[in-house]
Structure 1
Amino acid sequence: MSKPEIYVSTDVEADGPIPGPHSMLSFASAAYLADKTLVATFSANLDTLPGAHGHPDTMRWWADNRAAWDACRRDPQAPEAAMRAYVEWLDALPGKPVFVGYPAAYDFLFVYWYLIRFAGRSPFSHSALDIKSYAMAVLKTDYRESTKRRMPKAWFDRLPHTHVALDDAIEQGALFCNLLAASRREATG
């Protein structure tokens, strides 16, 4: 019997728009089964990259979000250690990991770059599932109309969105599972 897919909702906090010139400050993943069972979580705060600097626009945003900034700067670790531990965690999940993000284009960019740079491989391969794109298909709307404000309230659990990576990974993972369930209900009738 093949392993089930494990939906790894992942959130990144960074000091700029791209990895390399800027650093991933914190990231977290919440691994869910399709039925919204939370299997495991992973979270790490990271040292900044040598020679990298915060982007002025991003640093202005952080200045207005001090609690989240303080949370992502608490006990940072070397990216090498964090990414190797993350690969071990992903490999130990009881299924095939599927990266899930909101927006996947941003979060996956950082996670994939850091995985390749510091762990030498990505258990996700080159793939990432974007919650907003999936919502667009289910809602039968244009992409830019597929915002959280326009999604059905039933898709949201009462979970905080704090810009602390683990909080946001859990919240977005629950959203994805609710969307997946709604999509499957619609498909069966």
Structure 2
Amino acid sequence: MASPDLYFSCDIEADGPIPGPYSMLSFGFSVAGSYDGAVFTHRHPFEKTYYAELKPISDAFEPEALAVSGLDRENLKINGRDPAEAMTDAAAWVREVAREAGAFPVFAAYPLGFDWMWMYHYFVQYAEGGSPFGFSRCLDMKSLYAARGRTQIRDAVKAKMPRGLLSGRRHTHNALDDAVEQAELLQNLMTWDGARAR
């Protein structure tokens, strides 16, 4: 029997729109559960987590983007983790958690495009061994909701989702808090029969 997928819910905070010219300042992972193609098995979202705050990689930043997280760039220049050390450690953590579960690690985010762009860039650029998720082992919760809920992507927003799908946690813009919140959303989506619900 093939190994199941193990979903790592991820959220990041950055000081601009794209990696390279701007910096990822923090990221968080929460393991949501596993899926063997038939059954989704929940994991408590605090059981396996990872969080890091990083040193900026450039002097450029957009004040509006920085204000979202409330992180202090000047403090991170001194106390943030070196990106190479943090990304190598995070990649090793992902691989070890997946190995312990006998599963393939899958990156999950809502929406995927933004968080994956940053994490994949940083893993490839800084982590020894590159991305633990390869170049495409990822799941977009927004697309999953649109497909199961039979709605358009433009309407696949939390404000229009059934209340029962959403986490009861507040969206704080702390990367770990939000990764946990998204892990609970993913758990609900993976066991939701959207078509039947309609």
**TM-score normalized by the length of structure 2:** 0.83
Question: Does the CA contact (< 8 Å) of 2:148 and 2:194 recur in 1?
Answer: no
Q: Distance in 2 between matches of 1:42 and 1:185?
A: 34
Q: What CA distance in whole angstroms lies between the structure 1 residues aligned with 2:5 and 2:163?
A: 26
Aligned-residue offset at 1:52: 4.0
CA displacement 1:78-110 (0-9 Å, x = unmatched): 001100101110111122111101111000000
Please name the residue that 1:69 is paired with. Answer: 71
CA-to-partner distance for each residue in 1:9-36, whole Å, 9 max, x for gaps?
Answer: 0000000010000000000110121332
Taking the TM superposition and a 5 Å limit, the aligned residue runs for 1:35-74 are 35-38=41-44, 39-49=47-57, 51-59=58-66, 62=67, 65=68, 68-70=70-72, 73=76
1:53 deviates by 1.1
1:84 aligns with 2:88: yes
**Match runs of 1:141-156 below 5 Å:** 141-156=151-166
The 1:56/1:160 distance shift into structure 2, 3 A limit, reads: closer
The equivalences for 1:1-189 within 5 A come to 1-33=1-33, 34-38=40-44, 39-49=47-57, 51-59=58-66, 62=67, 65=68, 68-70=70-72, 73=76, 75-93=79-97, 94=101, 95-119=103-127, 120-127=129-136, 128-183=138-193, 186=196
The residue matched to 1:26 in structure 2 has which SS? strand
CA drift of 1:158 comes to 1.5
Q: Give runs of ≥4 in structure 1 deviating > 3 Å.
A: 70-75, 183-186
Over the aligned positions, Cα root-mean-square deviation in angstroms equals 2.4
| Per-residue deviation, 1:126 | 1.7
Measured in 1, the distance between the counterparts of 2:166 and 2:15 equals 28
- Following the alignment from structure 1 to structure 2, what is the Cα–Cα distance between the partners of residues 90 and 5? 12
Unaligned 5+ runs, structure 2: 34-39
AA aligned opposite 1:92: E
